[in-house]
Amino acid sequence: MGLTVSTNMGVPDVHDARDLPREVLALQATSPATFAVTALDGHRFAWVKPAGPAGPEQLIVADPATLQSWMKDEWKIGSVTGWPDTIGQLLGPEAMANTRSAEQHQRLRQLFSPMLRDDSMARMLPKIQGSVQRYMREWAAKGTVPAYTETLTLVFDVLVNQAMQLDWPDADIKKYAVLFEVWNQGFTPSTADPRWAKGMEARKELVARFRSAVSDPRLLPGSIPATLRDEYCAESDVVTDNLIMVLFAGFETSTSLTVRLLYELAKHPDALQKLRAEQQAVAAKYGPTLGLKALGAMTYTEAAISEALRLGQMVANVPRVATKAIETPRAPPVPAGCPFSASWAGQSVLDPAVQGSTTAFNPDRWLDKRNKASLKLHQTPFGYGTHSCLGWRIARAVAAAVAQELALAYELSAETDAAWDDFPTGSRPANELPLSLKPLAASAQ
């Protein structure tokens, strides 16, 4: 394998990965995070060839300073989304994550901004907590459950009934959570893959259900669906494409994070005990209802969530296309028309704060003040800039509520001997993480 490495005299640190084996190139479609990290091989940039039919070479970027410079104002530098056509069709042409119009993207992001506001989170947190408590009671009653599938339903419920405020009944939540996972599994690069066709069929049913929801006179004024309807009209594809996008922003990301946290806590009982002690202290000070002040006091819990995010990158790789030549001091020149990708997973492993323990679960690294600047620079699991994930606060809130309920009410055991598979928005355990919850003895609570 050819290799050019230099960080002197302003020459970028570029890895020539254009002769990777075919089996590694195939990972571009199935395991994008693994592929990017493999291609980068510890460097900040890598040139690779496409996995499929002949096409332009691609640049993978894992240099934090370059990515922050590009992503905070990518419309001006000449960067647009570069999703495969299959994913573009699943999202819908009017979805915010898919649009190449800077003006439309900015307007939609403004409409979705309540998802990130403190007042919205203050409204949602007790309801998220209530949903988590109800679902975890059901898990405990069932015995051993597949944590991934069960958490998907919980997260779908939170997104539809708390983030969107649609008030769907349990029967609809269960039905459409399954349907949305079929849609989610359609994220493949080829129309020949039967999962893509099934995903497109699932999309039709989802569009019909959302169109019915936004036409309902009982739709809550000021909710995200009502805001979109009032801006574009109930029949507009902009409305349905972007309601699907809200699910896309939170569904797999929240599920992957929560299940990864459960997995790591099951493997590390010492971390669970630290979390349990913190949650007992927080509950004693702030009471039983989850709010912003209680959330802000969960320093170890938030560190554990950040460490789970680092190990299971949510938005690991984001494809882009250069609309014009891009030249910046730290990066190799990118010609017009060149595909490139922002590898948040690639920059994560370059973090000095994780060197020597890249695969180790260590929440304490986030509490060490010496690591603060490095972690902030290198760890951006939800992306950065104009296309960062809008669902990040909801994902962290669900994980925090699960951690709280686990710490205060349950003992945990899980089958943790499983590999984790990459996914475009997160990762999942191959065994679905069979998990058992048992109520804590009264004396231990």
CB atoms under 10 Å from CB of 66, counted, come to: 21
Which uninterrupted H or E stretch holds 334?
Answer: none
- CA–CA distance, 123 with 133 (Å, rounded to integer): 17
Nearest to 64 by CA among 327, 332, 343, 308: 343
Nearest to 321 by CA among 36, 41, 55: 55
In the block, which residue shows the tokens 């494409």?
241
Q: Is 389 annotated as a binding residue?
A: yes
Sheet with 410-414, strands from edge to edge, namely: 144-146, 434-439, 410-414
Which uninterrupted H or E stretch holds 176?
Answer: helix 170-185
Nearest to 433 by CA among 145, 59, 12, 136: 145
The residues facing 144 across adjacent strands are 436
In angstroms, how far is the first alpha carbon of the chain from the final one? Answer: 57
- CA–CA distance, 133 with 127 (Å, rounded to integer): 10
Q: Please classify residue 10 by burial: count the beta carbons closer than 10 Å to its beta carbon, then call 0-12 exposed, 13-18 middle and 19+ buried.
A: exposed
- CA–CA distance, 134 with 431 (Å, rounded to integer): 24
Provide DSSP, 111-142: HHGGGGSHHHHHHHHHHHHHHHHHHHHHHHHH
Where would I find the beta strands (DSSP E) of 245-304? none
Residues in the chain: 445
- CA–CA distance, 38 with 355 (Å, rounded to integer): 16
DSSP 389: -
What angle do helix axes 194-215 and 237-267 make, rounded to 10 degrees? 120
Tokens (6 digits) for 359? 């695969």
Residues forming the annotated binding site?
A: 389
Q: Which residues are annotated as a binding site for heme?
A: 389
